[in-house]
Amino acid sequence: MNTSSPASRKSHRKPSEEVERRARELREEIETHNYYYYVLDAPRIPDAEYDRLMRELQELERRYPELITPDSPTQRVGAAPVEAFGTVRHELPMLSLDNAFSEEEVRDFHRRVTEQLGVRHVDYAAEPKLDGLAVSLRYEEGRLVQGATRGDGYTGEDVTQNVRTIAAIPLRLRGRGHPRVLEVRGEVYMPLSGFRELNRRQSRRGEKTFANPRNAAAGSLRQLDPRITAQRPLSFFCHGVGVVAGGRLPGRHSEILAQLREWGLRIPEHLRVVRDAEGCLAYYEEMGRLRPRLDYEIDGVVYKVDRLSQQEQLGYVSRAPRWAIAHKFPAQEELTRVLAIDVQVGRTGALTPVARLEPVYVGGVTVTSATLHNEDEVRRKDVRVGDTVIVRRAGDVIPEVVAVVGERRPPGTCPFRMPRKCPVCGSDVVRAPGEAIARCSGGLFCPAQRKEAIKHFASRRAMDIEGLGDKLVEQLVDKGLVRDVADLYMLTEDQLADLERMGRKSAANLVAALEKSKSTTLARFLYALGIREVGEATARALASHFGNLEALMEADEAELEAVPDVGPVVAAHIRAFFRQRHNRQVIQRLRRLGVHWTEQQRSPGVPLPLAGKIYVLTGALQAMTRDEAKDRLEALGARVSNSVSRRTDCVVVGADPGSKYRKALELNIPTLDEQGFLELLHRFEGRNRA
């Protein structure tokens, strides 16, 4: 059976003139949008529209393969793999640059330039120096015919098929007046956003990740299979020209770059013509400030004498021009030694391995420690005490260990192992199935988690201790008045009145609020304990399933997983939490200090009286808040919904009810006034009370 539609079938007829014209139009339109997007950084159409144009052209070329041209924008998917790269001899060598690492070295450079030229002032073209891969692109009659790596400066590798897959490199130059042969030089690089995404993708697939964007760019460009290069987020900036024949270029470097831009080539952002050493140094400062916000890595800036006639006068020394210099930023990567691997416990109990390092100057500061993220990361990089490692610090980012220098590993090192007990409180360390982070399970007790645990315990949806805000919790912990949540219920008015921003009255109010909070529901109490992955809904499900705390505390994984929404991860966290003697002691103290709830001491599995019923609340109740009414209904097994529908079983109507009441009347849904509601609670809660 032939399932293809007539429109999608391959045609064996010659394309009509109209089809040919449309293919040409589409190619031009797509190229123009590439130019707006990549070169001018100002896209004119949404991505979806661009994709539509591309699909239309692909479809035409599929039906009439004779329409395909080598420089069609559809031809960037990557040619067939090769066994090895051919070599390319650079007609004009690709030079390197001298470096300056200090202000003084920049001033010395400027002095040499002015002295040799016999002038007092010099204009420099100042550019960011990209940390990429130098390449040469050869255009003949405006068409890209060759791409080559720098190699040793004289001979590079032929990467034509690979550079053709990079969307920021035009396959054909725009406009008119280009020289017959134009060799453009610049850097292929990987934007930081693309680099992070690529590493995430590689990690997900269990493939090798890249240490930095430069390695990722090099590894991607130098692929024998250009189809792989095509899938890598590479980009390109040009910063000069090599061979130029059959045409002329302007007399200043800055003008040449402007001309290249008009021809469709991407030139670096933040180009500037500056004057003398002072202008250069101001530019360096400015780029240093901008650097953390750029989506690509730069390792410095380059100053080039702008006038070509002056460049010629200055000439070259060995392999570097006398008319240009790279002013480098402090290195972002350095080598150092791992002295120890400590494990830090965060506010939420997450354990993070941290490498203690021999102090090293990197990225402008002295670094003595670097994060190793998590256990899997340490294992993947196999970082060991005694190893020599590459440390990286980019912008304001926390320093990290990028990789180990394998050949410098001393004998007798051991692989890292995550401790089994929390280094702060001694509770069990738990790593739930499928999670990357190991955590301390002593949430109620661990000093590292103290403040967060208390703030959560006091919060409105948990124990609802009015007046116990974050600042006050910090003070109470810092002054040593509270070490765990049970200590809250031992606080006296006198102790509280002595605190900052607390008077007698606020102290008395807080003591009253603490007293009031002692009467709660099992669901709220469970939520307040701050067990990992146990949010309000899970706490409610656990309370209604087990009916009492003792049954829950003793439940094993299988019993826990019988509760709706509780999977192996949640069950593991709950088990680990209640296994900790310290957590159990805090719970015992809380109960002895008067924290209680009114749920039925039920045997697990017995349904609650309002199980499966949907209630809606509207209007104000006199006897309790909306939250309390909701809690009490939920404790009886009801679901409390925000809107009335045919599925609603009952609407509780307080004073000044809103539209939900009208809707209930309209749909003939049973309603209860406050008196009726209280009687319902009394009837069932009375029956349920322990």
The answer to whether 380 touches 351, Cβ cutoff 8 Å, is: no
Judged by CB, which is closer to ligand 5U1: 239, or 291?
Answer: 239
Judged by CB, which is closer to ligand 5U1: 123, or 674?
Answer: 123
> Residues 6 or more apart from 125 whose CB is under 8 A from it?
252, 253, 254, 257, 271, 272, 273, 303, 304, 305, 306
Say how far apart CA 539 and CA 566 lie, in whole Å: 10
Question: How many residues sit close enough to ligand 5U1 to count as binding (CB under 6 A)?
Answer: 13
Say how far apart CA 492 and CA 304 lie, in whole Å: 73
Task: Decide if 421 is catalytic.
Answer: no
Q: Does 545 bind ligand 5U1 (CB under 6 A)?
A: no
Contact map string, positions 584 to 623, toward ligand 5U1, x by CB under 6 A: ----------------------------------------
**Cβ 173 to ligand 5U1 shortest distance, Å:** 20
Say how far apart CA 401 and CA 399 lie, in whole Å: 7
Return the number of other C-beta atoms located less than 10 Å from residue 500's C-beta: 8
What one-letter code names the amino acid at 114? T
Judged by CB, which is closer to ligand 5U1: 324, or 390?
Answer: 324
Judged by CB, which is closer to ligand 5U1: 127, or 400?
Answer: 127
Contact map string, positions 286 to 305, toward ligand 5U1, x by CB under 6 A: ----------------x-x-
Contact map string, positions 321 to 360, toward ligand 5U1, x by CB under 6 A: x--x------------------------------------
Q: Does 543 bind ligand 5U1 (CB under 6 A)?
A: no
Judged by CB, which is closer to ligand 5U1: 319, or 483?
Answer: 319
Member of 61, 127, 464, 484 binding ligand 5U1 (CB under 6 A) = 127
Q: Does 97 bind ligand 5U1 (CB under 6 A)?
A: yes
**Cβ 267 to ligand 5U1 shortest distance, Å:** 9
**Cβ 128 to ligand 5U1 shortest distance, Å:** 6
**Cβ 129 to ligand 5U1 shortest distance, Å:** 5
Judged by CB, which is closer to ligand 5U1: 321, or 467?
Answer: 321
Active-site entry in 10, 14, 129, 421: 129
Say how far apart CA 230 and CA 232 lie, in whole Å: 6
Judged by CB, which is closer to ligand 5U1: 284, or 684?
Answer: 284
Return the number of other C-beta atoms located less than 10 Å from residue 490's C-beta: 12
Among candidate residues 94, 311, 306, the one with its CA nearest the CA of residue 185: 94
CA 628 to chain CA centroid, nearest Å: 39
**Cβ 130 to ligand 5U1 shortest distance, Å:** 6
CA separation, residue 658 to residues 171, 348, 616, 624 (Å): 66, 41, 12, 18
Contact map string, positions 195 to 234, toward ligand 5U1, x by CB under 6 A: ----------------------------------------
Judged by CB, which is closer to ligand 5U1: 95, or 188?
Answer: 95
The answer to whether 580 touches 441, Cβ cutoff 8 Å, is: yes
Say how far apart CA 230 and CA 165 lie, in whole Å: 5
Member of 73, 233, 240, 363 binding ligand 5U1 (CB under 6 A) = 240
Member of 27, 33, 90, 129 binding ligand 5U1 (CB under 6 A) = 129
Judged by CB, which is closer to ligand 5U1: 288, or 321?
Answer: 321
CA separation, residue 438 to residues 353, 422, 428, 560 (Å): 10, 10, 10, 21
**Cβ 290 to ligand 5U1 shortest distance, Å:** 15
Stretch that binds ligand 5U1, among 126-134, 478-486, 665-673, 679-687 (CB under 6 A): 126-134
Among positions 309-328, residues that touch ligand 5U1 (CB under 6 A) are: 321, 324
Say how far apart CA 649 and CA 638 lie, in whole Å: 10
Say how far apart CA 52 and CA 74 lie, in whole Å: 13
**Cβ 278 to ligand 5U1 shortest distance, Å:** 20
Dihedral sign for Cα atoms in the order 439, 440, 445, 450:
negative
Among candidate residues 251, 254, 250, 258, the one with its CA nearest the CA of residue 274: 254
Say how far apart CA 117 and CA 140 lie, in whole Å: 35
> Residues 6 or more apart from 462 whose CB is under 8 A from it?
456, 524, 527, 528
**Cβ 18 to ligand 5U1 shortest distance, Å:** 46
**Cβ 153 to ligand 5U1 shortest distance, Å:** 9
Among positions 132-171, residues that touch ligand 5U1 (CB under 6 A) are: 134
* Residue 176, burial from CB neighbour count under 10 angstroms (0-12, 13-18, 19+): exposed
Stretch that binds ligand 5U1, among 127-135, 336-344, 398-406, 591-599 (CB under 6 A): 127-135
**Cβ 261 to ligand 5U1 shortest distance, Å:** 14
**Cβ 432 to ligand 5U1 shortest distance, Å:** 48
Residue nearest to ligand 5U1 (CB): 239
Contact map string, positions 77 to 96, toward ligand 5U1, x by CB under 6 A: ------------------xx
Tokens of 595: 């924290």
The answer to whether 477 touches 470, Cβ cutoff 8 Å, is: no
Among positions 254-273, residues that touch ligand 5U1 (CB under 6 A) are: 268
Q: What is the DSSP string of 477-523?
A: HHTTS-SSGGGGGG--HHHHHTSTT--HHHHHHHHHHHHHHTEE-HH
- 429 beta partners: 440
Judged by CB, which is closer to ligand 5U1: 186, or 363?
Answer: 186
**Cα diameter, the chain:** 103
- Return contacts of 600-606, CB within 8 angstroms, 24+ apart: 600/547, 600/548, 600/687, 600/688, 600/689, 600/690, 601/547, 601/548, 601/690, 602/547, 602/548, 602/688, 603/547, 603/551, 604/545, 604/546, 604/547, 604/551, 604/559, 605/545, 606/547
Judged by CB, which is closer to ligand 5U1: 268, or 657?
Answer: 268
The answer to whether 634 touches 539, Cβ cutoff 8 Å, is: no
**Interface residue list for ligand 5U1 (CB under 6 A):** 95-97, 127, 129, 134, 239-240, 268, 302, 304, 321, 324
Q: Which residues are known to be catalytic? A: 129
